[in-house]
Amino acid sequence: MLFRQLFDAESSTYTYLLADEATREAILIDPVLEQLERDLEVIQGLGLTLVYALDTHVHADHVTALGSLRERLGARTVISERAGVACADLLVKDGDAIGFGSHLLFVLETPGHTAGCVSYVTGDRAMAFTGDALLIRGCGRTDFQGGDARRLFHSIHGKLFTLPAHTTIYPGHDYHGRTATTVDEERRLNPRLGGGRTEDEFVAIMSKLALAYPRQIDVALPRNVRCGREVSGEHAVIQPRVPVAAGAGAGPEVAP
């Protein structure tokens, strides 16, 4: 299988290109809109046909290129059915498989960073693409977008840490120049989740992070629920998923 790991320095995001060397069918995981031309050049230069463009979750730190890759190359867009992204072509759930050439990529639902996070694992379980759920010696934050520290703990221990010890973990980001890790390394060395950390210890760690507001979230989220397409108007409006009524105060209200 052909494999390339690509990087966006602005958001420290990794994008992954996988392809069947015989059929030249390819998939792209977590593409960044600002790197669209680079990715197109790589795909075309290698003589590949992009059949799927996948996101691991609705990103808050960059705008996805899913919609642009569909428009430019005809790729089918893929995201979790729990992500609330109606524009995607394929909404996946735990156990689903995505095929390219003779290869399969299986879906693991790994919520906790967001409610709609998934990881993608190759059929031979040699490689796992974990998005922001599991990072190298860390994990994604759990304080917005339906995040939940207890759910993330169970996603990692119940799903990702049950993969073979040699499985290579390819994260959605790294901020220290590292490119990959393994299940065994993270079980032993991850300071938040490994080395025998309990669920309560992990929850306490996550509650004290006090992280800054994501710099691009106000632009990225409204666009990413539209597969990266621009939102018309001065202020983005995300359609509510529950009944909303006119409120007595300054804005609309949602019944408890």
Phi, then psi, of 4 in degrees rounded to 5? -135, 135
- Residue 231: per-residue pLDDT: 76
String of b and e for 206-245 (b: at least 16 CB within 10 Å)?
beeeeeeebeeeeebbbbbbbbbbeeeeeeeeeeeeeeee
Q: How far apart are CA 25 and CA 107, in angstroms?
A: 19
- Residue 123: per-residue pLDDT: 97
- Residue 56: per-residue pLDDT: 98
Q: How far apart are CA 164 and CA 161, in angstroms?
A: 8
Q: How far apart are CA 39 and CA 20, in angstroms?
A: 17
Sign of the alpha-carbon torsion through 81, 67, 142, 15:
positive
- Residue 233: per-residue pLDDT: 54
- Residue 135: per-residue pLDDT: 98
Q: What is the pLDDT along the chain (256 residues), one digit of tens a residue?
A: 999 999 999 999 999 999 999 999 999 999 999 999 999 999 999 999 999 999 999 999 999 999 999 999 999 999 999 999 999 999 999 999 999 999 999 999 999 999 999 999 999 999 999 999 999 999 999 999 999 999 999 999 999 999 999 999 999 999 999 999 999 999 999 999 999 999 999 999 999 998 998 889 999 999 999 999 987 653 444 443 344 344 444 444 545 4
- Residue 71: per-residue pLDDT: 98
Of 102, 122, 2, 112, whose CA–CA distance to 54 is shortest? Answer: 122
Sketch out the chain's domains with CATH numbers: 2-224 (3.60.15.10)
Quickly list DSSP for 30-62. Answer: S-BGGGHHHHHHHHHHTT-EEEEEE-SS--SSS
